[in-house]
């Protein structure tokens, strides 16, 4: 009987042109988004339809249950992200911000935020209760995955440039920021209007490049830079005490890219690329 019911379910998927589907966390229900924008919710014990979520006006590209299983978030080619009560089908907030098809939506482990990815080359962070866009990042993203640890503040994106990037979500005085924490590649500068305050591991040349892009703040320089500065001060002090000609004026305290200190410094690993919607 179970195999027969599963066969009927397979036929329903094919017949309705379902482009996305997702199981609830407890496995008792399954939601299927169809081509005409409707979402059908099924009881997986009997494979009967329990209710329909109606509201999207175009193809439903992605869906996800909240960690608690009480809500469903969906995204569509109608440029919106929508929230639903998983038990009753009652609609919640409707997003406003994306300017192109939205193809991916993902809950944070806490269930308090939703991240959505669109063909408009942005990932947007939404507050589940209010529906407010908290922050967004720009780039050619293809996938999103949150850290599975509860209360996690990180999510990972896959990008068209073949890189994988980890982002940290922080909140300070009700202001949300999404900060680039790690990337699998550093062969191109892809950020602008950044904050480099207290950033660690930033080389002198990368700091200058970021400043040219409007970066603000004071990074924490690598120990090699600090040691080089101490040596320059020490040399000037000794020369002064011995009344010898000082080479201080001929030494460039702004190290060049040929400096061993610069060569040993790591590429930028963290930069704030968020902005409020």
Amino acid 71: pLDDT: 96
Classify each residue of 153-180 as buried b or exposed e, where b means 16 or more C-beta atoms within 10 Å of its C-beta.
bbbebbbeeebebbbbbeeeeeebbbbb
Cα distances from 170 to residues 76, 116, 153, 178, 180, in angstroms, run 28, 17, 7, 7, 11
- Give CA angle at 269 (163, 197), nearest 5°: 140
**CATH level 3 topology of 2-185:** Methylamine Dehydrogenase; Chain H (2.130.10)
Work out the number of other CB atoms within 10 angstroms of the CB of residue 117: 25
Does the pLDDT value for residue 150 go beyond 50? yes
Q: pLDDT of 56-74, one tens digit each?
A: 999 999 999 999 999 999 9
Selection from 148, 146, 150 nearest residue 166 by Cα:
146
Q: Distance between CA 233 and CA 228 in Å, rounded?
A: 9
Amino acid 258: pLDDT: 41
- Domains of the chain, residue spans: 2-185, 191-268
Classify each residue of 83-111 as buried b or exposed e, where b means 16 or more C-beta atoms within 10 Å of its C-beta.
bbebeebeeebebebbeebbbbbbbbbeb
| Residue that is written with structure tokens 């060569």 in the block | 263
More confident residue, 91 or 242: 91
Q: Is 191 exposed, middle or buried (0-12, 13-18, 19+ CB in 10 A)?
A: buried
Does the pLDDT value for residue 85 go beyond 70? yes
Amino acid 224: pLDDT: 52
Work out the number of other CB atoms within 10 angstroms of the CB of residue 61: 22
Give the full edge-to-edge strand order of the sheet including 122-127: 102-107, 113-118, 122-127, 133-138
Q: pLDDT of 174-225, one tens digit each?
A: 788 888 888 887 555 555 666 777 777 777 777 787 787 777 888 877 665 5
Long-range contacts of 36-39 (CB under 8 A, 24+ apart): 37/76, 37/78, 39/63, 39/72, 39/74, 39/84
Does the pLDDT value for residue 275 go beyond 60? no
Does the pLDDT value for residue 79 go beyond 90? yes
> DSSP of 194-250, one letter per residue?
-B-TT-BS--HHHHHHHHHTT-BS--B--HHHHHHHHHHHHHHHHHHHTTPPP-GGG
Q: Is 69 exposed, middle or buried (0-12, 13-18, 19+ CB in 10 A)?
A: middle
109: three-class secondary structure by DSSP:
coil
């Amino acid at each position: 009987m179970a195999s027969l019911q599963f066969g009927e379910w397979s036929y329903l998927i094919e017949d309705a042109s379902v482009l996305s589907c997702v199981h609830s966390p407890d496995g008792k229900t399954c939601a299927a988004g169809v081509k005409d924008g409707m979402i059908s919710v099924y009881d997986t014990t009997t494979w009967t339809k329990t209710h329909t979520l109606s509201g999207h006006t175009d193809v439903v590209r992605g869906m996800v249950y909240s960690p608690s299983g009480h809500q469903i978030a969906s995204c569509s080619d109608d440029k919106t992200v929508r929230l639903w009560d998983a038990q009753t089908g009652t609609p919640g907030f409707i997003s406003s911000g994306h300017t192109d098809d939205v193809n991916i939506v993902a809950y944070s482990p806490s269930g308090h935020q939703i991240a959505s990815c669109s063909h408009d080359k942005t990932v947007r962070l939404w507050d589940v209760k209010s529906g407010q866009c908290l922050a967004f990042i720009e780039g050619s993203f293809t996938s999103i995955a949150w850290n599975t640890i509860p209360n996690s503040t990180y999510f990972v994106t896959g990008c068209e440039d073949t890189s994988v990037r980890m982002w940290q979500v922080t909140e300070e005085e009700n202001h949300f920021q999404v900060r680039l924490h790690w990337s699998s590649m550093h062969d191109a500068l892809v950020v602008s209007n950044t904050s480099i305050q207290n950033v660690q591991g930033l080389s002198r040349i990368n700091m200058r490049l970021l400043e040219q892009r409007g970066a603000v703040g004071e990074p924490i320089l690598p120990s090699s830079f600090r040691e080089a500065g101490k040596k320059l001060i020490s040399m000037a002090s000794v020369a002064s005490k011995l009344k010898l000609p000082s080479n201080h004026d001929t030494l460039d305290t702004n190290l060049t890219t040929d400096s061993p200190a610069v060569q040993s410094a790591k590429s930028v690993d963290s930069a704030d690329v968020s902005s409020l919607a």
